[in-house]
Structure 1
Amino acid sequence: MLTVKVLNRTNGAYPDSKVYWTFNGQTHSIADQPYLDMPANSAGRMYFHLGTPTSKYNDFVEFTVGPDQFNGNTTRVDAFVLKIAMRLHAADGFDQEVGESRKVFAESRAATFARFKAAVPAEFDHLAQGLDKILSPGGDPSFRPGGRYADYFATYTTAANSSEILGCAGPLSGKPDECAQLNRHVTAAQANDRGAYYQAAPANFYAKFWHDNAIDGRAYGFPYDDVNAQSTYVSHQNPQYLLVAVGF
């Protein structure tokens, strides 16, 4: 059994009665039920919603809970909607946090979106959809064949088109190292050098932004972002509790 507690970190934008979680057919506000005892052999996603249980402001964490082990992560592979961080604590004293940084949680939603648009090149700033969400370029039509940025990676490689690179699809499916190198704009020799990542265009600057704004620089910005342990994946035996912070 793993105890999960959901924390309201919306800086007063939503009261506890308007912060909801959904898992395994249950939906509750954290005013009603902030804790969930998650049994072994649970798997899937736990969703979080602000305002109403069907709000457009919703996001999730992914995990599996084995008989004596937790494996899970936050993710930006599809989009950013809510600020999410989680902290896993285990019986042997293991304690690890992943997700957006405290600085990101402390700032306003408008500030986060404005900083994203200022940080990324022109090909990526349209991914910020008002203040509703920031789309991942991997699923954005603009980078697909026929889209205005379909040739974004064309001068860098002919191994795959831009959409396939950003989504690690097509010829890059099942090739995590190659896809990670292309997204990060590094050579095979630089593959383990975090300081070399995203230093030149073309690169996945959406992913770069989330790494720059994450605890320990770890984010899941594209499907194979776990190469060289750069993602928010956390795994440990005998977990005791999981805290999930939900921000706006």
Structure 2
Amino acid sequence: MEETGLSESKGESQMIRKPKQMSESMILGVVLTLAGGFQDAYSYNCRGQVFANAQTGNIVLLGQNIASGNFQNALHYLFPLLAFLAGVYLSEWVRELCKSFQKLHWRQIVLAFEIVMLAIAGLLPQSLNVVSNVLMSFACAMQVDSFRKFRGIPCATTMCIGNMRSGTELLCRYHITKDPELKRKSLHYYFIILVFAIGAAIGAVASQKFGNPAIWIAAGLMLLGFILMFVKEEIQGETE
């Protein structure tokens, strides 16, 4: 019996010490969500009222301009949409080609792409707003495709509608079943939505104060996320 208890204890210890991916940690989710909210506020306030992340809004505005015969203005919304599709496509190739890398996680490579694109976007003048929005939409697509869950819960860091639906659904299920786990997951979604709103507020203020280079703040947040993934891996290696 003692041996059985000892083996169970060892098993529990191994389960506790089992490493978790930093790419799915809450701290990284907060950092990337802040950057996601920031980008949407920046692109709307500083780059011609185009949404870098909320492509549904861009589709509506694209259709509205086409219906009004403003075909040239419609391109302001069409190009970011195409860039979003290209970003998802590229991120899948990065995952496939780089998933076996040892020194870098493939998601870190995605973050590196994003950092470079946002850094370039901040250098562009107002006359190149379309190019800037294309770069930001491309970066957003790579992020939303690569970072899909945190603490094991599917979650988006660049938009809120899915999080709002999931959080409210879980809240309703909690009130029906009284399962505390459903409440915890629901609060997780509402917390992420709050973080996104904070990022958007910071982005709006920074855009007014710093203008075009304000997007470098979002790039800095992604750089922080890139570094955090290194730190976590180092700690995990020590505990194994």
TM-score by shorter chain over 0.5: no
- Asked which structure has the greater RCO (Cα within 8 Å, sep 6+), the reply is 2
Normalising by structure 2, we get a TM-score of 0.28
Q: Which has the larger radius of gyration?
A: 2
Q: Which has the higher strand share?
A: 1
